[in-house]
Amino acid sequence: MKIFVIIPTYNEAVNMEELISRILKLNIKDLYILVVDDNSPDGTADIVANFSEKDKRVLLLKRYKKRGRGSAGTNGFKYALNAGADYIIEMDGDFSHNPKYIPDFIKAIKDNDVVLGSRFIKGGCDVGRGLKRR
């Protein structure tokens, strides 16, 4: 079972090291992290590339123009499917999605076609974000 966690990024250098580390510490077999970066000027891609050199489960898809979050997600899904992904999880690079829930998603997907986590559904919440972002 090949699982891809796709993280579209733009200027997320401040979060990347901790986010990738937390996902890797989950120690989930056959889980790959694919960061799709839109040529962030803050060095996001460099941080991901350093992880990638040390751990083959961390992958970087660097786009050389800022093309937007939606397009980054689409490119990530295409990459993951071409790489043989059985399951794909998409999360933001700013910790608005907590990686601790990844095992719950993997468990739930075995009995469902789609698993959705959102602050906009019953039981969802938005903790620690300013009112403007809610």
Q: Which CATH architecture has domain 3-133?
A: Alpha-Beta Complex (3.90)
Q: Which pLDDT band holds residue 134 (cuts at 50, 70, 90)?
A: very low
Average pLDDT of 65-81?
92
DSSP 41: T
What pLDDT digit, counting tens, does each position of 3-43 carry? Answer: 999 999 999 999 999 999 999 999 999 999 999 999 999 99
Q: Which pLDDT band holds residue 97 (cuts at 50, 70, 90)?
A: confident
Distance, CA of 27 to CA of 22 (rounded, Å): 9
Percent of the chain with pLDDT over 90: 73
Distance, CA of 61 to CA of 34 (rounded, Å): 7
pTM: 0.88
Where are the chain's structural domains? 3-133
